Amino acid sequence: MTILFVNGSPNGNGNTAHLAATLLAGHDYGTLNLTDYRINAFGQTLPGDQFDEVIERIKQADVVVLGSPVYWHNLCASVRTLMERCYLNPQVDQLGGRLFLVFQGAGPEQWML
């Protein structure tokens, strides 16, 4: 069984990665850091897009753990862009396996208010 952790955090070794490591403790898994890839926004056709590469890595996994920090009460931009690009995409219709979502965030601190 192949497990792929898709990390949406711009910090590859941050809290989202640590949360996934805790969840996946005792399992071998690979990591794909979304910020290492250029994924254009839904509807754009610009050169250098690497969406197909990301989808190929996801296709090879039996289990995908999609992780995102929570910024301003929402998913991070890299995860949102990936999810939006999956909309009405025939490549995504072929995906199988299991998907787990891991989100981490913290309450606002006084200086943020």
pLDDT at 110: 67
**Into which CATH architecture does domain 3-105 fall?**
3-Layer(aba) Sandwich (3.40)
In the structure, how many helices (H) and strands (E) does the chain have? 4, 5
pLDDT at 53: 96
Q: Is the pTM above the cut of 0.85?
A: yes
Tell me the β-bridge partners of 68: 103
Per domain, the residue ranges of the chain are 3-105
Picking from 106, 85, 105, 104, the residue whose alpha carbon sits closest to that of residue 95 is: 85
Q: What is the largest CA-CA distance in the chain?
A: 46
Which parts of the chain sit beneath pLDDT 50?
A: none
